[in-house]
Homo-oligomer: A and B are copies of this chain.
């Protein structure tokens, strides 16, 4: 059956498997101290044009959000997120588990606005009782967002400026960063992100890796004893090579960008196809996730022949569903879908 359910239904990009096999019997030191991890770190710093960045590899997205947020905030602080932010909704309380509040602010197409963040911060500091409240200690955004949308360079710069002014870090969750960078409708490049954010991560799991996310601290601001922090969270991989080799491969010969571009090209074909067939979009997403409103009739028919993700069931029997392309999607998949529709 055709499957557009998500961008993590396959294993890894074949080049990654090839490198894992090739290096398999080399005897390497553990916990990220191996030469492949070192090489991957250098390549990522180069791609970010940020030579004094500090790069660490973690296994998954929720883990990364939890560790970054808990270790960069003070004990009295909470993190600001869009109400639709992954940390606010779909991480089973991983942030609160570390003792920190998630402040949820209104979103527009999954995005936080600098003006809403500023208003929130000003209200906090103007409140005479703020000593009895959680201090806002970080801004969290995802790019692409949970709805596949993107911040413009101007929007990210505005958020960055608010954060600088109020002296709190800006953290960008890039679980699907490649698909954002390769969008046809973006002016935000990797070096911009490295320059405007205090910390961000480059997602591997959803962009061709078996697992793995690369956290980048951009302002000499790595939390103290960070290896120990990772260990205490149960997140320090013994065979760190597994992450190092994957990211080294992804950042060799631009592979990360190439496979992301491929997914974007097929997403554009998908959009064109769905538009042509008269499907209604929930919003305009310029990346690999497409949210479509199906009528009851469309929903019942399609679900027999295509796998997609159900975002929200509608009272009339229809549904908001997600179609995702990825590095692994084939031109033939789009053609088959066209035949179906």
Contacts and interface: CB of A to CB of B under 8 A. Distances in A.
B91 A131 contact: no
Interface SS of chain A: loop
A241 interface: yes
Interface in A75-121: 75-76, 78, 89-94, 96-102, 104
A48 interface: no
A140 to B, nearest CB: 15
A141 interface: no
Interface in A193-237: 205-206, 210-211, 223-225, 227-229, 231-237
Contact of A231 (B62, B78, B205, B328): B62
Most buried by B among A24, A126, A238: A238
B75 A71 contact: yes
Interface string A1-13: 0010110111110
A66 interface: yes
Interface stretch (A26-34, A263-271, A284-292, A293-301): A26-34
Contacts of A250: none
A134 B229 CA distance: 10
Nearest to A10: B25
Contact of A9 (B30, B134, B234): B30
Contact of A241 (B11, B100, B132, B241): B11
A133 interface: yes
Contacts of A60: 234-238
Interface stretch (A15-23, A39-47, A154-162, A182-190): A15-23
Contact of A62 (B90, B131, B234): B234
A239 B8 contact: yes
A239 B131 contact: no
A131 B225 contact: yes
Contacts of A313: 126
Contact of A133 (B5, B28, B89, B328): B89
A126 B14 CA distance: 38
A314 to B, nearest CB: 12
Given A9-B30, A233-B234, A228 B129 contact: no
Contacts of A234: 60, 62-67, 91, 94, 233, 235
A23 B6 CA distance: 18
A25 B328 contact: yes
Most chain B CB neighbours (cut-off 10 Å) among A99, A100, A227, A232: A232
Contacts of A205: 238-239
29 contacts: A9-B28, A10-B25, A11-B26, A11-B241, A17-B21, A20-B20, A20-B210, A60-B234, A62-B231, A63-B234, A63-B235, A65-B234, A75-B229, A78-B96, A91-B132, A92-B133, A92-B228, A93-B232, A94-B233, A96-B134, A99-B99, A128-B310, A131-B227, A206-B238, A210-B239, A211-B237, A211-B238, A211-B239, A233-B234
